[in-house]
Chains A and B, each alone.
Chain A
């Protein structure tokens, strides 16, 4: 059996392949295909501090399972609230009052501070017509940005399709890229929510590139799936080196490594590092599972919201000193709200209208959209939608990504004033 030197040799290959810059120099030279990156990437991290032309960044946070918005932004002065929620009503003396008869869940201490500083926008009554109570169908609607069921691309994915092939434009944390970040031809890059896979640089040996060469000069008849494997591998070789370099240069914010920050904190730590390194990425996706609280909601949701609170506010704190961080906007959403009336399991079943949250140093805090009524419900006993979710997307596309939203959402939607 041969001596296991291969890993080291592959790594040496990386250094010898004109990628010396990846090890010692700027981020820009880490990329072997200059055409793929905007010029901003060629600027070393320190130079970004002086740049005034920093573009805003979207940090999209998906909460899977359907977070219970009524127990997140609690209408605690409405008598119907306690009547409907009974044992799982949040106690009025524990909520964090934000005025208008509303209080934030007691876990959201950091977000309350953001509210007080005018940096937290809460969009009320968000949803779409004819609510779908399937997690997966509703999440598909949210991620596709349409209620048409023949659309398989995501709303950010279509922006990727329209803006070239640079794999650094959008990054999703975790192995699987969500529909929101997948277009017909382009998909966001994905990176592991940990620096360890990048602590050794990925290989730069010419053999690795040629194994993925199918894409550029296909011989024979490679299948579409083989071409996708090749595309993913090609992008991986490029992206991993940039990411490895960034993670090496910028330390992970300690607050996001705490157990309270959890898995969401791990993901946002990497995003904070990449923003800190001045990557030109315009959209990030992070996510957290477990919000499907049909039973034992009080305990589960309190833990999950604490994780959200610690990680999101820790993240905003960590990037505050960076011009790109100053312009980063965090958007939190989930596939649906939950039934107004609690069930007997100490939980809630699938519902409709919900809150979405927008946070950041450049955000105009406050309440947006109409307050949903707890007594005038839809036929299934759910909150009635008053704000279409695509108004949030239109605002993000126009104010963050700087494009006309209409081509990406199929029609015009009124924008909201949070940016």
Chain B
């Protein structure tokens, strides 16, 4: 693959879910700068999408028998289909990364309708100021349930949300004291979900209006004040920058030089869209360290493959595999809306295990059964391996993989299966 095209394919993999050959053709004609601008422009606008069909509202579900397992399975499929059909891939990618930043699990929240509502916040507020986003996520029912906000009392606060707000969502571990945890927990007393309306409210009689000493600030700090304080700390700028850089380029700690370089710019406005621009336009984003810096997250790999082959959840349903996507993502270790805990998922070697490899094989075999493979089959036999690389928008194959692919090039489903589990496609 020519260098310019290869770099554009990298951009589409990281700032989206991969590119179709036609998209790469168009991007090549546009050039790097204009393609990047187009992806970034996708962050403008309201970001709303049609909700999943048949999703019962929270208030209705709460009066009746909940949302049910089916609605949760459908919701996961709905999100994957947003990834496979989006016209604003960077925005869709950001929604996934914000789920990774604010890991919240259906397992405890228990309502598909609430997981959906949180997802809408990521869509609509994600590209904007991070303090505004953090406040909205903090007061949203899914988070209120997930970290037990509103279960405590004025003089006896629960530390769960206050701690994870700092440790996972905004600042990073080791950047605050245990006293900061206790003081900020007081600020969130009285915060609660009103189960009748499904809305956030503050029970004033249960809120601690006393003086609090928190990260150098003193006063009657409210929960909103705490969110403002933590999101505006210099350590938060480094933490948020390091997280996004780690998912888009290669894993770094908040102490990494590239983070030190980018964090001050982000700190001026806390604007996530501007931070994404700074990351994607940074020279190191296209350096070899980044080009070879990540193993695809299972959701990226599954959605990208479905996108390449034009598959939808219906493609699997037709084959009598209605829950298939949920099943295989669970075997791969990454179910959307169900991270293992508030720490979320890991990266790179976290995704590689013999169990995950077997699940990769399962998905690859299934795709080769349900997909229309005529694009790969149309060229002469000798060119089929190359056609597959082209469809998957990868640079090409190593000699070893090419030999393996050529071994089965007469049987297209096998060729496709091998290509999908190849190191060249799973990594990078």
Binding site for B on A (CB under 8 A): 1-2, 4-7, 9-10, 64-65, 133-137, 167, 172, 174-177, 182, 187, 189-192, 197-198, 202-203, 205-208, 210-214, 217-220, 222-233, 235-236, 239-240, 289-290, 292, 294-296, 343-347, 349-350, 380
Contact = CB atoms under 8 A, between A and B. Distances in A.
B282 to A, nearest CB: 20
Given A177-B353, A189-B354, 9 more contacts: A6-B411, A10-B365, A220-B398, A220-B399, A225-B294, A225-B427, A292-B341, A343-B159, A344-B152
B398 A175 contact: no
A210 B422 CA distance: 10
From B342, B358, B368, B414, residue with most partner A Cβ within 10 Å: B358
Interface in B131-182: 147-148, 151-153, 155-160, 163, 167, 173-174, 178, 181
Contacts of B173: 134, 136-137
A137 B174 contact: yes
A19 to B, nearest CB: 16
B152 A6 contact: no
B159 A349 contact: yes
Contact of B342 (A135, A224, A227): A135
Contacts of B333: 174-176
**At the interface, is chain B mostly helix, strand, loop or mixed?**
helix
A294 B365 contact: no
Interface string B329-349: 001110000001111001011
Nearest to A191: B355
A133 B163 contact: yes
A162 to B, nearest CB: 19
B401 interface: yes
9 contacts: A2-B373, A64-B341, A176-B350, A202-B358, A225-B423, A230-B423, A232-B353, A289-B340, A295-B158
Contacts of A202: 358, 361
Given A207-B414, A214-B398, A175 B353 contact: yes
Interface stretch (B74-82, B94-102, B402-410): B402-410
Contacts of A235: 354, 357
B323 to A, nearest CB: 13
B151 A174 contact: no
B412 A2 contact: yes
A64 B340 CA distance: 10
A190 B178 contact: no
Contact of B354 (A190, A211, A227, A292): A190
A6 B295 CA distance: 26
Nearest to A210: B404
Nearest to B153: A344
Contacts of B427: 223, 225-226, 228-229
A345 B148 contact: yes
Contacts of A210: 400-401, 403-404, 407
B417 interface: yes
Contacts of B278: none
A199 to B, nearest CB: 12
B373 A292 contact: no
B332 A222 contact: no
B428 A133 contact: no
A175 B331 contact: yes
B341 A289 contact: yes
A180 B7 CA distance: 37
Contacts of B374: 1
A10 B152 CA distance: 57
Closest 7 CB pairs of A and B: A175-B333, A344-B156, A190-B353, A223-B292, A344-B153, A236-B357, A345-B151
A207 B409 CA distance: 10
Contact of B346 (A176, A294, A344): A176
Interface in B267-311: 292-295
A349 B341 contact: no
Contacts of A226: 292, 398, 423-424, 427-428
From A6, A208, A220, A230, residue with most partner B Cβ within 10 Å: A6
Contacts of A294: 147-148, 151, 158-160
B352 interface: yes
Contact of A233 (B351, B357, B403): B357
Nearest to B155: A344
Contact of B158 (A1, A134, A347): A347
A350 B178 CA distance: 11
A133 B159 CA distance: 11
Contacts of B252: none
Nearest to A139: B343
B401 A197 contact: no
B414 A10 contact: yes
Contacts of A208: 404, 418
A347 B349 CA distance: 35
Contacts of B424: 226
A340 to B, nearest CB: 14
B359 interface: yes
B423 A227 contact: yes
From A167, A176, A220, A230, residue with most partner B Cβ within 10 Å: A176
B413 interface: yes
A203 B158 CA distance: 51
Contact of B151 (A223, A231, A346): A346
Contacts of B423: 211-212, 214, 222, 225-227, 229-230, 233
From B181, B342, B357, B424, residue with most partner A Cβ within 10 Å: B357
Contact of B421 (A136, A197, A211, A295): A211
Given A175-B356, A223-B428, A296-B151, A350 B411 contact: no
B224 interface: no
Contacts of A6: 365, 368-369, 411, 413-414, 417
A343 B157 contact: yes
Contacts of B350: 176
B377 interface: yes
Given A134-B167, A228-B349, A229-B426, A192 B358 contact: yes
A183 to B, nearest CB: 11
Contact of B400 (A191, A214, A290, A349): A214
